[in-house]
Amino acid sequence: MKRKHLSYFILFFSIVLLAESCQNRSDYVLKRKDMERLMYDVYIAEALIDQDYQTFDTPAKKEAFMNDVFAKHKVNSAIWDSSLVWYSDRIDIYLKMNDSVKARLQRELNVVNDEITTIYSKQKELDRRNSSPSYIPEIFTFDQFASSNGFSFRLDTNDIKNTIKEDNFDFSFQVIGLPLINKPDIKTVLILEYNDTTLYKSNKITENDKYSLSGSKYIPDDTLTVITGFIHYINKDSLYEKPNVILYNISLGNSKLEIEPTKNTEITDDKILRKQDLLMIDSIK
């Protein structure tokens, strides 16, 4: 029983000491929560100064930056120094505050790391798709800053099976930005390779309009095995800069039109491509 009373007395005495210590805090000492918030920003500021030594290359720049941090909390360096001394003299409180600030910093760091990991994963997926021969961009721009004169794609048997669900399909896109004069030479080509037959389809881009090339997974006694396509810009005159022509809604998918099966031949109703047209495939890969 006496031990129980002793425990109550120690607890009461500790509460009294804590209350007195808080009451003895002067107006130049920040409250605990306010001090923790300031410590958090000061730690970040000090880390930035240490890392970005080119920006903070003079004591005046460092001082100005820290003063901005203090101004954010409506204090000055004198209040920061006096608060730091006051809490340092009460080491138990200071250590708990420091642990709380470090835990907050770690939580924020974890959030940043998670965001970086997410962005990195998305970039890796985008790079993987862009590097894949079967990747078809939804938007493509021809301009003077473009690194290439077009794009190409190639779908093998598995790609065709996974991408095209119906028998008939279209390679389609829309065009905007084509100038009225000095029109560039832009051509789209679709090459359909069957087991025993190869069909070539092409179209020249002459207007700001929608374009489409149709195909079928099957022709009489034959099955589509490879689809190759490309859109290519030919710069006939180097004196003219590339126009800002944009292709959008680019897709290779199911067609709403029924296509009449063709004979087992290498010739279609489309124009037969010239040999130099086919060589453009290699020039843009």
Hey, what domains does the chain have and what are their CATH numbers?
25-128 (no CATH), 140-284 (2.60.120)
Question: Can you tell me the mean pLDDT for 197-208?
Answer: 90
Residue 274 has pLDDT above 80, yes or no: no
pLDDT band at 13 (very low <50, low <70, confident <90, very high): very low
Q: Report residue 125: phi and psi, to 5°.
A: -65, -40
Residue 104: phi and psi, rounded to 5, are -65, -40
The answer to whether residues 211 and 203 touch, using CB atoms and an 8 Å cutoff, is: yes
Lowest mean pLDDT across 7-11, 84-88, 209-213, 250-254: 7-11
Per-residue pLDDT, 257 = 41
Tokens read off for 29:
């000492």
Could you tell me what percent of the chain has a pLDDT over 90?
38
**Residue 210: per-residue pLDDT:** 93
What letter represents residue 159's amino acid? Answer: D
Determine what percent of the chain is predicted with pLDDT higher than 70: 69
**Residues 194, 231: contact at Cβ < 8 Å?**
no
Computed over every residue of the chain, the mean pLDDT equals 77
pLDDT given at position 168: 93
More confident residue, 115 or 70: 70
pLDDT at 74 over 80: yes
Tell me which of 34 and 236 has the higher pLDDT. 34
Is the separation of the CB atoms in 236 and 149 below 8 Å?
A: no
The pLDDT of residue 80: 92
Exposure string for 206-235, b = 16+ CB within 10 A, e = fewer? eeeeebebbbbbebeeeebeebbbbbbbee
Residue 11 pLDDT > 70, yes or no?
Answer: no
Which pLDDT does position 155 carry in this prediction? 93
Mean pLDDT to the nearest integer, 80-89: 91
Q: Which long-range contacts (CB under 8 A, 24 or more apart) does 114-122 make?
A: none
